[in-house]
Amino acid sequence: MKKLLSVFIMLAFVFAGVAQDKAPEKTNKKVKEPQITFESLVYDYGNIMQGDNGECEFVFKNTGKTDLILTNCRSSCGCTVPSWPKDPIAPGKKASIKVKYNTNRIGAINKTITVESNAINNRVVLSIKGNVAQKPLEAAPQNENSSVKSATR
């Protein structure tokens, strides 16, 4: 009976020791991963005119402990084209994703850009919004001869 009790106590210490060894690994692993932190998740163009510059920029920082690698950036529509850095972003460094919206389309802007990376927050959704108004029609220049002729008639 004493042997059985001794074995039981010894096994209890072994299991307690194994459980304690594994717990810190999980916490340390998350601390070592990269993390992407954006200055803003939404860009508001406000009211812009048809044909205006539809470019904007989303600035972010790698707030993690290892290199951040953006694997993909995709938009919800073909009228919105993102471009992103292909090189790794070191911990503590900033970079940006540039987005170009086709302002020849008149109406409300409400598009998303999904950013995928190796970060702990590996999928982040950015938004652009605003409104594109039709460019005012320019008056056609009148021919000087036509105004003179109509005045003399």
Q: Output the pTM of the full model.
A: 0.70
Higher per-residue confidence, 129 vs 148: 129
Query: Looking at residue 20, what is its pLDDT?
Result: 45
Region 15-27 average pLDDT: 46
Task: Output the average pLDDT for the chain.
Answer: 82
Instruction: Report yes or no: 37 and 93 within 8 Å, Cβ to Cβ.
Output: no
Buried b (16+ CB within 10 A) or exposed e, 104-120: eeeeebebbbebebbbe
Least confident interval from 19-23, 40-44, 146-150: 19-23
pLDDT tens digits for range 25-81: 444 445 589 999 999 999 999 999 999 999 999 999 999 999 999 999 999 999 999
Secondary structure (3-state) at 116 = strand
Ramachandran class of 77: left when φ > 0, alpha when ψ lies in -120 to 50, beta otherwise? beta
Structural domains in the chain, sorted by start: 39-133 (2.60.40.10)
Q: Which tokens hold the place of 21? A: 């060894």
| Residues 48, 131 contacting (CB under 8 angstroms) | yes
Number of Cβ within 10 Å of residue 66's Cβ equals 16
Cβ pair 41, 121 in contact under 8 A: no
Q: Are strands 55-62 and 70-75 parallel, antiparallel or unpaired?
A: unpaired
pLDDT, residue 111, reads 97
CA nearest neighbour of 83 among 101, 60, 61, 99: 99
